[in-house]
């Protein structure tokens, strides 16, 4: 079938994107679902910094690629062998498909699925297929989702069925920002109630961590960003203390305010500078978690002796160390009960042809989560 979608033809085009238009709204050919695959009518897709990092080349991927990895939709058609979904079911897309059989999947760590990672790097579905074409050539899938489009053919293993009561624009945010941000606190850090936490980087992912830390019972939640507007929003959402990372004294200021640092610091900005701050504001014996994705050549140095003598822990967190079928329903239920007000992260609704403008706003730090309504 012919669909419209936002295709990145080459990485590294300079902003302003509204003028340079790295994402072209094009007509592409979408194959129907093969075995184990599902055709989904996309309802909404969020703009995440990880999309921006493909556009600007910080996170290199093969092009042309139809972007978008934080999406929700309605099941349209099932391929052979898919017997646990029905046409009309509402689904959230998860940006790491999990095969269910590889060593990490067997150990209950589907976020680290090995064939899933291979497919995502290659720009294919879990099956290895590319179901998107243009002028007779393949177009790559983005993280098995490619959600900035009218329809997507995806692996069944990229989907979680959700309750139809959740509005589909909000549902989209659960696929990346919420799964990643809340999961970093609950699954990766396993932060106990009563702990102190700091979040560095207050985009959709970091603010989800902030909400997760509050929901998990942190007695103090410190919010850090370069933008005073984001700090203001963090305060409204329940941050107890806010600090601007632009201050050269930021680390000392946080340490002074928190008796030598927090129990858990979460780097959610995607930069070595933010990670450095996160490490410095973690207290002796504390844990620094990072979910930010800086360019692959950037390295983080830390004083090894202090890792040892202060018994520090540094943990990476991918897609919130999630088990999607376990965590998504839990987070959605917490949202419904008012414990995880992720609707407050919604900055704007966009049309597909406003997507370059949306990425300008994300690049300039002027938006938290913008969602394209398809």
Check: CB of residue 127 under 8 Å from CB of residue 334.
Answer: no
If binding is defined by CB under 5 A, does position 368 make contact with Zn ion?
A: no
Q: Judged by CB under 5 A, which of 5, 6, 28, 50 binds Zn ion?
A: 50
Tell me how far apart the alpha carbons of residues 207 and 204 are, in angstroms, rounded to a whole number: 5
Binding of residue 270 to ligand NAD (CB under 6 A): yes
Q: Does the protein bind ligand NAD through residue 92 (CB under 6 A)?
A: no
Binding mask 231-250 for ligand NAD (x = CB under 6 A): --------------x-----
> Does 117 participate in binding ligand NAD (rule CB under 6 A)?
no
289, 201 contact by CB (below 8 A)? no
Burial class (CB in 10 A: 0-12, 13-18, 19+), 192: exposed
Q: How do 241-244 and 220-225 pair as beta strands? A: parallel
* Helices H / strands E in the chain, number of each: 13, 18
Span near ligand NAD by CB under 6 A; candidates 215-223, 231-239, 256-264, 267-275 = 267-275
Torsion angles phi and psi, residue 144, rounded to 5 = 70, 10
β-partners of residue 350 are: 372
Which residue matches tokens 């690629």?
A: 65
The answer to whether residue 370 forms part of the interface with ligand NAD (CB under 6 A) is: no
Q: How far apart are CA 345 and CA 367, in angstroms?
A: 9
| Closest approach of Zn ion to the CB of residue 181, in Å | 10
Which of 67, 172, 176, 207: binder of Zn ion (CB under 5 A)?
176
Q: x/- contact string, 274-313, with ligand NAD (CB under 6 A)?
A: x----------------xxx--------------------
Applying CB under 5 A, which of residues 8, 102, 111, 125 lies at the interface with Zn ion?
Answer: 102
Single residue of 300, 344, 365, 373 touching ligand NAD by CB under 6 A: 365
Rg (CA), the chain: 20
Interface with ligand NAD by CB under 6 A: which residues? 48-50, 53, 176, 180, 200-206, 224-227, 230, 245, 268-271, 273-274, 291-293, 317-319, 362, 365
């Amino acid at each position: 079938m012919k669909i419209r979608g936002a295709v990145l033809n080459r990485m590294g085009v300079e902003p302003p994107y509204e003028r340079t238009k790295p994402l072209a709204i094009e007509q592409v050919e979408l194959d129907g679902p093969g075995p184990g695959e599902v055709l989904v009518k996309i309802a909404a897709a969020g703009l995440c910094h990880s999309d921006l990092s493909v556009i600007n080349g910080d996170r290199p991927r093969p092009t042309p690629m139809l972007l978008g990895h934080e999406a929700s939709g309605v099941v349209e058609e099932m391929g052979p062998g898919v017997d646990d979904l029905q046409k009309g079911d509402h689904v959230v897309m998860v940006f790491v498909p999990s095969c269910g059989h590889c060593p990490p999947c067997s150990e209950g760590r589907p976020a680290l699925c090995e064939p899933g990672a291979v497919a995502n790097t290659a720009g294919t579905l879990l099956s290895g297929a590319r179901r998107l074409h243009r002028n007779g050539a393949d177009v790559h899938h983005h993280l098995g989702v490619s959600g900035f489009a009218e329809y997507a053919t995806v692996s069944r293993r990229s989907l979680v069925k959700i309750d139809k009561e959740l509005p589909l624009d909000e549902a989209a945010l659960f696929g990346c920002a919420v799964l990643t941000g809340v999961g970093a606190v609950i699954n990766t850090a396993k932060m106990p109630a009563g702990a102190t936490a700091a979040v560095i980087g207050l985009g959709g992912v970091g603010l989800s961590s902030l909400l997760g830390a509050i929901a998990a019972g942190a007695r103090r939640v410190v919010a850090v960003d370069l933008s005073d507007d984001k700090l203001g929003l963090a305060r409204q959402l329940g941050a107890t203390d806010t600090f601007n990372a632009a201050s050269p004294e930021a680390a000392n200021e946080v340490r002074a305010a928190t008796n030598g640092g927090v129990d858990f610091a979460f780097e959610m900005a995607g930069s070595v500078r933010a990670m450095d701050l996160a490490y410095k504001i973690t207290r002796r014996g504390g844990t620094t978690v990072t979910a930010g994705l800086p360019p692959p050549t950037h390295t983080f140095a830390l004083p090894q002796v202090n890792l040892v003598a202060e018994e520090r822990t540094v943990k990476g967190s991918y897609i919130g160390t999630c088990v999607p079928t376990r965590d998504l329903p839990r987070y959605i239920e917490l949202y419904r009960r008012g414990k995880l007000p992720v609707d407050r992260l919604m900055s704007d609704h966009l049309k597909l042809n406003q997507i370059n403008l949306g990425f300008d706003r994300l690049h300039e730090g002027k938006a938290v989560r913008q969602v394209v309504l398809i």
